[in-house]
Amino acid sequence: MKRRHFIKNASLTGIGLVASSAAMGCKDPSEEKIEKTVMKQTKTPSPIAICTWRFTEANATAGKALKAGKAALDAAIAGVEVEEENLKNTTVGKGGAPDREGNVTLDACVMNSDGNCGSVVYVATITKVAALARTVMEETPHVMLAGAGAEEFAYSQGFQKETLLTEASKEAWHAWLKTSEYKPIINIENHDTIGMLTLDHNGDIAGACSSSGLSYKMKGRVGDSPIIGSGLFVDNEIGGAVATGMGEEIIKTVGSFLIVELMRNGLSPQAACEEAVRRIVSKNEAYTDFQVAYIAMNKAGETGAYCIHEGFTMMKYQNDHNEAIAVDFYHKK
Ligand code: GLY
């Protein structure tokens, strides 16, 4: 493994942290020392928001908040909330599809540029779960709260109790009950988890991730979206990554953490996302039946995205321009 494969980003400066080459999978640990990359911005890029899927308004909301001078996490949560409140979105927030017993349960997490994070899982009565995850981060000694405990904490912090199952979601669930066939659809209605990464005026990166999880999942099932390192990971020295798609596969490979670590070792965001997808498809022949997609951004504002199947889109907002980017994919038929 050659050093140039690790340090290839001209806009980033490498500062020598010496690591054992054995740890990097090289032949002789005594023979070769590898410099890991600690990324320092030579110039702060103008603010950027990226998010999963064609969540145009959510991404524009985050981008405009960044432009107005908001901090990275404020902007990410403002963006994600657009979809949490969008009743037509059946995979995020209020209006999300329920589990097979008719309960809508939401998962979310946030991660800050100082490495702090918060998470909530299995929340059945609160819409703005990314904001709730932030409140867990800021107001409790814990990282993760689940179920009734998360809900009670939310009420104590002023969050409103809400019914998350809408008439439309209830009707769809009743229709599903007629067959009760559980087979998640690739690119279901072309949207799934919203994962967002933001880079603010100070060059700081934060992220948020929010989902109602897989439609008609088993009662109690929790996906990747609230799991720090799986659905989301940010290291403000390096960059961040978020995931969408089949949560079980993302958790097995700790996908978002993997991508940030690959970027730390010099891979571009694009190459890191591709490697994370390769880890999944190389271990699971059934990849033809599920979608996983990653997006990533490094400290220099470079972005990347990759997925298993055609049909995934990444939104990117920078310099007043909100762009939908069709993402390259692994499974070319
Ligand atoms: N990626 C969302 C989930 O699997 O729950």
Domain ranges of the chain: 1-35, 42-326
Q: Could you tell me which of 149, 148, 150 has the C-alpha nearest to residue 131? A: 150
Residue 59 pLDDT: 98
DSSP state of 150: H
Give the pLDDT score at 281.
Answer: 97
Cβ-contact 285, 263 below 8 angstroms: no
Helix (H, G, I), strand (E, B) or coil at 103: coil
Helices 255-264 and 269-283: crossing angle, nearest 10°?
140
Percent of the chain with pLDDT over 70: 85
Nearest-atom number in ligand 1 for the CA of 107 is 5
- Ligand 1 atom with the smallest distance to the CA of 221 is 5
Ligand 1 contact, 247 CB (< 6 A): yes
| Count of beta carbons in the 10 Å neighbourhood of residue 143 | 15
pLDDT tens per residue, range 51-86: 999 999 999 999 999 999 999 999 999 999 999 999
**Is it the case that residue 24 has pLDDT exceeding 70?**
no
Q: What is the pLDDT of residue 16?
A: 32
Q: What is the mean pLDDT of residues 198-212?
A: 98
Across 179-183, 199-203, 224-228, 269-273, least confident range:
179-183
Q: How crowded is residue 138: how many other Cβ atoms within 10 Å of its Cβ?
A: 12
What is the Cα 44 distance to its own chain's centre?
Answer: 23
- The CATH number of 42-326 is 3.60.20.30
Rounded distance from Cα 92 to ligand 1 centre (Å): 10
What pLDDT is attached to residue 194? 97
Residue 266 confidence (pLDDT) above 60: yes
Atom of ligand 1 nearest to the CA of 211: 2
Q: Is 224 in the pocket of ligand 1 (CB under 6 A)?
A: yes
Q: 121, 222, 250, 294: which to mutate for ligand 1, most atoms within 8 A of CB?
A: 250
Close Cβ partners of 148 (under 8 Å, ≥ 6 residues apart): none
pLDDT in tens, 141-194: 999 999 999 999 999 999 999 999 999 999 999 998 998 877 766 665 556 899
pLDDT digits (tens, 9 = 90+) for 98-118: 999 999 999 999 999 999 999
What mean pLDDT do residues 7-25 have? Answer: 35
Atom from ligand 1 closest to the CA of residue 217: 5
Q: Judge whether residue 25 has pLDDT over 60.
A: no
Minimum mean pLDDT among 5-9, 88-92, 309-313: which range?
5-9
pTM over 0.75: yes
Q: DSSP H helical segments within 157-245, as ranges? A: 167-177
Indicate if the pLDDT at residue 267 is higher than 90: yes
**Cα–Cα distance for residue pair 224/209, rounded to 1 Å:** 9
Cα of 315 from ligand 1 centre, angstroms: 19
Please give the pLDDT value at position 180: 80
Burial grade of 310 (CB within 10 A; 0-12, 13-18, 19 or more): middle
CB 211 within 8 A of CB 106: yes
**Is the predicted pLDDT of residue 34 greater than 60, yes or no?**
no
Catalytic residue set: 193
Q: Residue 102: what pLDDT?
A: 96
Q: Give, rounded to a whole angstrom, the gap between the first and last alpha carbons of the chain.
A: 31
Is residue 261 within 8 A of residue 229, CB to CB? The reply is no
pLDDT of 20 reads 35
Residue 299 Cα to ligand 1 midpoint, Å, equals: 26
Output the pLDDT for position 45: 86
Sequence length of the chain is: 333
Instruction: Tell the residue nearest (CA) to atom 4 of ligand 1.
Output: 247
CA 150 / ligand 1 centre spacing (Å): 19
In the chain, the largest separation of any two C-alpha atoms, in whole Å, equals 66
Q: Exposed/middle/buried for 16, CB within 10 Å: 0-12, 13-18, 19+?
A: exposed
Whether 244 is in the pocket of ligand 1, judged by its Cβ within 6 Å, is: yes
Residue-averaged pLDDT of the chain: 88
Q: Closest Cα partner for 87 from 171, 153, 148, 152?
A: 171
- Note the pLDDT tens digit of each residue in 229-248: 999 999 999 999 999 999 99
Distance of CA 332 to the CA centre of its chain: 24
CA of 292 relative to ligand 1 center, distance in Å: 9
**Residue 110: phi, psi to the nearest 5?**
-135, 155
